[in-house]
C-alpha cells in the first residue's frame, strides 16, 4: 500500500529523531580534535577510540555534515565550531605540494597514503562550500569553486592522474560521473557555480549512454572506454548499492529541473534494475557484489551486507515514491528501511554497525574506520527528513 500522509509524517519524525538523538550524538562532540583540529573518527562500538589516524575522505564528509546541519537544521554553535575544526585541518594538512590531496594522514596531519583518484578533493569541495555558506566567507567559497575546477580537470584530462589500469584493457568507472554530479549539486545548492548545470547534464548523459544497459536491465560499475561490457571478472562485477546511489542523484536532479520526466524515467530504471539484482530474496538486505551474467564473483565479501548501500537505497526508494507515487517504491522503501534499522542499528550504543554477514549477523562491531564515519547514515537521515518536510508541506 502506498504511504499515507500520516505515515510520511511518522517517517519524517523517525528520521529526525534518529539523526539528532542517536546518530549525530554518537560522533559529536566526542570526535572533535581540539588539539590537532579535524576529527578522531575511528571508533569502536561504544565510541571508544580505536586509532587516531585520520581518513581525509571522512574529514571532508564530517565537515560537510556539520556545516549542513548548521545551515539547514539549527544554527548551533557546536556544529559551526566543529566544521571550523574540519576546514582548518583539511586546508593545513591534507593537500600535497602538487595540489592533490592525501587519502590517509596521522593525527597531526603527516601524510601516510595518497590514492590515484580525486575523491578526497570532491569531499573537500562540498565541505568548503557548506562551511562557506555557514560563515558567509567569500574567500572560502572561492576556494571551493577553484577546487571544483580542479576536479573537472582531473575528471576530463586523460593522463593527468595515474591510471587505475594500464596495458591492453583500459576501463572507465561510473564512480567519477556519479561523484561529480553530487559534488556539483552540493556546490550549486550552497554557494552556487555557473558551471554546475552544464556539467551535471554531461555526467548524467555519460551514465545513461555508457553504463545503463536497458537490454539486460543493468547498470554497470565499469565499462570499456566505448561503453561496451568487458567480459572478465572485474568488468562483470556489479555493485547494486552504488548504482542505486547514482539513481537518487539523478532523481534529485529531476526534482531540481521541475520533475523532468526523462530524468525520472532514467533514475527509476536504474533503481529497478539494481533492486532486481541486489535485493537478497532469502535473507533481505542488499548484496554487495553481483556478476552481470550471474557467474561467481571474485571478492569474498560479495554476499555481505554493508551499511552504506542500505542508506543509499533508503533514499532512492523514498525519493522514487515521492516523485512518481508508485506503490512499488513505497513497498521497497519499507522493506529496506525495516531491514536496515532492525539489523544495522545498534540500539545500545547508537549509530549503525558497518558490516553484516549475509544472514544479518554482525561481522565486526566497529563504527568508524578509513571508510566509515559520519556521512552515509546521517546524510540519509538528514536527506529523508528534509525531502519529507518539503513534500508534506
Q: What is the dihedral of CA 193, 244, 290, 307, to 10 degrees?
A: 90
pLDDT of residue 163: 62
Check: CB of residue 106 under 8 Å from CB of residue 89. Answer: no
Residue 132 — φ and ψ, nearest 5°?
A: -65, -40
Quick: pLDDT tens for 113-153.
998 889 999 999 999 999 999 999 999 999 999 999 999 99
**DSSP strand pairing (104-105 vs 111-113):** antiparallel
pLDDT of residue 166: 52
pLDDT of residue 167: 62
Question: Can you tell me the distance from the alpha carbon of 106 to that of 249, in angstroms, rounded to the nearest whole number?
Answer: 33
Check: CB of residue 132 under 8 Å from CB of residue 69. Answer: no
Full 3-state SS string of 97-119: CCCCECCEECCCCCEEECCCCCH
- CA-angle at 235, arms to 230 and 238, nearest 5°: 130
Q: What is the mean pLDDT of the chain?
A: 96
pLDDT of residue 318: 98
Quick: pLDDT tens for 357-380.
999 999 999 999 999 999 999 999
Instruction: Collect the ranges in the chain with pLDDT lower than 70.
Output: 1, 162-168
Length of the chain: 393
pLDDT of residue 314: 99
Kindly write down the DSSP assignment for every residue of 234-275, as one continuous string: HHHEE-HHHHHHHHHHHHHHHHHTTS-HHHHHHHHHHHHHHH
User: Does this model's pTM top 0.75?
Assistant: yes
Amino acid at each position: 500500500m502506498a504511504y499515507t500522509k500520516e505515515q510520511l509524517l511518522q517517517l519524517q519524525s523517525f528520521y529526525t529523531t534518529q539523526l539528532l538523538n542517536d546518530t549525530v550524538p554518537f560522533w559529536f562532540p566526542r570526535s572533535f580534535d581540539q588539539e590537532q583540529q579535524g576529527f578522531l573518527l575511528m571508533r569502536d562500538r561504544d565510541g571508544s577510540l580505536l586509532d587516531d589516524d585520520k581518513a581525509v575522505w571522512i574529514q571532508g564528509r564530517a565537515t560537510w555534515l556539520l556545516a549542513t546541519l548548521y545551515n539547514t537544521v539549527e544554527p548551533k554553535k557546536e556544529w559551526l565550531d566543529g566544521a571550523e575544526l574540519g576546514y582548518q585541518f583539511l586546508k593545513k594538512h591534507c593537500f600535497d605540494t602538487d595540489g592533490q590531496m592525501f587519502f590517509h594522514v596521522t593525527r597531526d596531519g603527516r601524510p601516510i597514503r595518497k590514492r590515484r583518484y580525486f575523491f578526497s578533493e570532491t569531499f573537500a569541495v562540498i565541505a568548503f562550500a557548506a562551511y562557506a555558506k555557514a560563515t558567509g566567507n567569500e574567500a572560502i567559497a572561492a576556494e571551493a569553486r577553484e577546487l571544483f575546477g580542479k576536479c573537472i580537470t582531473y575528471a576530463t584530462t586523460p593522463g593527468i592522474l595515474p591510471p587505475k589500469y594500464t596495458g591492453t584493457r583500459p576501463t572507465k568507472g561510473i564512480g567519477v560521473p556519479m561523484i561529480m554530479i553530487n559534488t556539483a549539486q552540493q556546490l550549486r545548492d550552497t554557494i552556487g557555480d555557473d558551471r554546475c548545470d552544464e556539467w551535471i547534464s554531461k555526467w548524467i548523459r555519460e551514465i545513461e549512454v555508457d553504463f545503463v544497459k536497458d537490454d539486460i536491465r543493468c547498470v554497470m560499475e565499469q565499462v570499456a572506454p566505448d561503453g561496451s561490457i568487458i567480459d572478465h571478472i572485474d568488468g562483470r562485477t556489479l555493485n547494486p548499492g552504488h548504482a542505486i546511489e547514482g539513481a537518487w542523484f539523478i532523481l534529485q536532479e529531476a526534482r531540481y529541473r521541475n520533475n523532468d520526466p526523462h530524468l525520472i524515467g532514467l533514475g527509476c530504471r536504474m533503481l529497478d534494475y539494481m533492486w532486481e539484482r541486489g535485493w537478497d530474496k532469502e535473507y533481505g538486505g542488499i548484496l554487495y557484489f553481483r556478476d552481470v551474467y550471474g557467474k561467481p564473483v571474485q571478492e569474498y565479501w560479495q554476499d555481505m551486507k554493508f551499511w552504506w548501500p542500505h542508506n543509499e537505497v533508503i533514499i532512492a526508494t523514498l525519493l522514487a515514491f515521492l516523485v512518481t507515487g508508485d506503490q512499488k517504491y513505497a513497498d521497497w522503501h519499507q522493506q529496506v528501511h525495516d531491514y536496515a534499522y532492525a539489523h544495522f542499528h545498534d540500539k545500545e550504543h547508537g549509530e549503525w554497525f558497518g558490516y553484516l554477514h549475509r544472514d544479518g549477523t554482525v561481522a565486526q562491531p566497529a563504527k568508524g574506520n578509513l571508510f566509515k564515519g559520519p556521512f552515509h547514515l546521517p546524510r540519509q537521515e538528514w536527506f529523508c527528513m528534509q525531502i519529507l518536510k518539503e513534500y508534506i508541506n
